[in-house]
């Protein structure tokens, strides 16, 4: 459905996109995830047609659209601030694109009603944006994009203006709507929880490059670089030599890696030494609800974070000696790069 091939984009001397390539299947929800300045919004704008790359190609449904303006790409765009017209009713906002296309009155009324029904806003057509909650305004913006039946839905940081609780609810609602309608969607965010919630696949970006493009589970469980491991979830990124301590029978599995990654939940803590354990001392303890979070200063090494189920029957206080081991070999992942 969407193919991005070797995109390069410069703004003066600033190289914003560096050989970015993606192939997105029809019906997928894909998130471009990264910190501010990584190039994710520029990549989205190149797909939308708001920016033109100096090199590379954008293809939508088999058609090369690299040089086409946004209005000829058949995409719907939800802006970060929703960009609703305050002087128009909800129905007028949703139907604005249809009016630009000079649709007849009957078509507009039925299409707007259908779009509002898709986002559960039936009966809101006569209201004005200022009378709506943040979540309702976002759904109006989504309906305005859906009413044109685009091939692709693009969303730029569309959840930023919402409070944390509403943001989580709207992420779930958005995914349900997109899947129900059968759209292909590309979203931009810096929020890893949002990306994990809404995405079929995630493209993690750094300094204009796509570091990894895979399913949320693959990116969390099998990051390919130290950057990805550190950016998605909590992670202990340790020097390659740590594998010799935590994995006694490594058989060369990590010899090409510069670092190893262990998620906090993959550590085990014991009061006595066990095979493959490293001694240390508790530096910090925090209750997270069902789990206890520990920071352990390893003897002769770095500090690591461990997340232990409260029902594991180990109670530790700051200053207590402890032995740290990896629960199983699969919990210790070799990756490229260092932090």
Same domain (yes/no): 181, 320: no
Across 48-176, the runs of DSSP E, i.e. the strands, are 55-60, 63-64, 75-78, 152-156
83 and 134 part of one domain: yes
Count of domains for the chain: 2
Q: Do 314 and 282 touch, CB atoms closer than 8 A?
A: no
201 and 241 in a common domain: no
CA–CA dist 55, 18 (Å, integer): 10
Report the alpha-carbon distance of residue 73 to residue 162 in Å, rounded: 29
Asked if 202 and 30 count as a contact pair (C-beta separation under 8 A), the reply is: yes
Would strands 2-11 and 55-60 be described as parallel, antiparallel, or unpaired?
A: antiparallel
Residue in the structure block whose two tokens are 């190609």: 57
Do the Cβ atoms of 137 and 82 come closer than 8 Å? yes
Q: Give me the tens of pLDDT residue by residue for the chain, a chain 339 residues long.
A: 999 999 999 999 999 999 999 999 999 999 999 999 999 999 999 999 999 999 999 999 999 999 999 989 999 998 888 889 999 999 999 999 888 888 888 998 999 999 999 888 999 999 999 999 888 998 899 999 999 889 999 999 888 877 778 788 889 988 998 998 899 999 999 999 999 999 999 999 999 999 999 999 999 999 999 999 999 999 999 887 776 677 655 555 556 678 889 999 999 999 999 988 999 999 999 999 999 999 999 998 889 999 999 887 788 999 999 999 998 877 888 888 888
Instruction: Examine the domain organization and report whether 310 and 250 are in the same domain.
Output: yes
Q: What DSSP element (H or E) covers 117?
A: helix 105-118
Same domain, 188 and 128: yes
pTM of the predicted model, to two decimals?
0.89
Domain boundary among 192, 226, 260: 226
Count of Cβ atoms closer than 10 Å to residue 281 Cβ: 15
Residues 151 and 281 in one domain: no
Query: Is 204 found in the same domain as 70?
Result: yes
Among 191, 226, 261, residue at a domain's last position: 226
| Cα–Cα dist 211/20, whole Å | 10
Residue 206 near residue 34 (C-beta atoms within 8 A): yes
Are residue 257 and residue 147 in the same domain, yes or no? no
DSSP label of 38: S
Say yes or no: 120 and 250 in one domain: no
Mark whether 28 and 91 lie in a shared domain. Answer: yes
CATH number at residue 198: 3.40.50.300
Write the DSSP string, 251-313.
Answer: TTTTTT-SEEEE-GGGEEEESS--TT-EEEEEEEEEE-SSEEEEEEEETTS-EEEEEEEGGG-
Q: Do 168 and 299 fall into the same domain?
A: no
207 shares its domain with 134: yes
Q: Of 207, 202, 267, 209, nearest to 234 (Cα)?
A: 267
Task: Note whether 2 and 48 are within 8 A (CB).
Answer: no
Supply the range of the domain harboring residue 35: 2-226
């Amino acid at each position: 459905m969407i193919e991005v091939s070797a995109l390069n984009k410069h703004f003066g001397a600033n190289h914003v996109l560096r050989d970015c390539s993606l192939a997105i299947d029809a019906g997928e929800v894909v998130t471009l995830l990264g910190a501010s300045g990584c190039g994710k919004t520029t990549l989205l704008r190149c797909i939308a047609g708001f920016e033109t790359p100096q090199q590379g190609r954008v293809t939508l449904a088999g058609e090369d659209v690299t040089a086409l303006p946004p209005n000829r790409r058949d995409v719907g765009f939800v802006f970060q601030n929703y960009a609703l017209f305050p002087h128009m009713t909800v129905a007028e906002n949703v139907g604005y694109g249809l009016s630009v296309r000079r649709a007849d009155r009957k078509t507009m009324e039925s299409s707007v009603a259908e779009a509002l029904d898709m986002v559960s806003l039936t009966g809101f057509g006569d209201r004005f944006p200022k009378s709506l909650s943040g979540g309702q305004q976002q759904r109006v913006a989504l309906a305005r994009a859906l009413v044109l039946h685009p091939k692709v839905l693009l969303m730029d940081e569309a959840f930023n203006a919402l409070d944390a609780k509403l943001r989580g609810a709207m992420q779930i609602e958005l995914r349900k709507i997109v899947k129900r309608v059968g759209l292909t969607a590309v979203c931009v965010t810096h929020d890893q929880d949002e990306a994990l919630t809404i995405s079929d696949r995630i493209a993690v970006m750094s300094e204009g490059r796509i570091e990894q493009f895979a399913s949320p589970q693959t990116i969390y469980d099998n990051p390919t670089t130290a950057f990805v491991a550190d950016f998605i979830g909590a992670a202990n990124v340790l020097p390659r030599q740590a594998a010799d301590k935590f994995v006694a029978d490594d058989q060369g599995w990590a010899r090409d890696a510069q670092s190893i990654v262990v998620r906090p939940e993959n550590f085990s803590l014991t009061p006595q030494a066990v095979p493959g354990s490293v001694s240390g001392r508790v530096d910090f303890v925090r209750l997270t609800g069902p789990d206890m979070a520990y920071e352990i200063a390893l003897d002769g090494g770095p500090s690591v974070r461990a997340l232990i189920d409260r029902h594991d029957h180990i109670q530790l206080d700051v200053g207590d000696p402890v032995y740290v081991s990896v629960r199983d070999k699969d919990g210790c992942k070799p990756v490229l790069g260092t932090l």
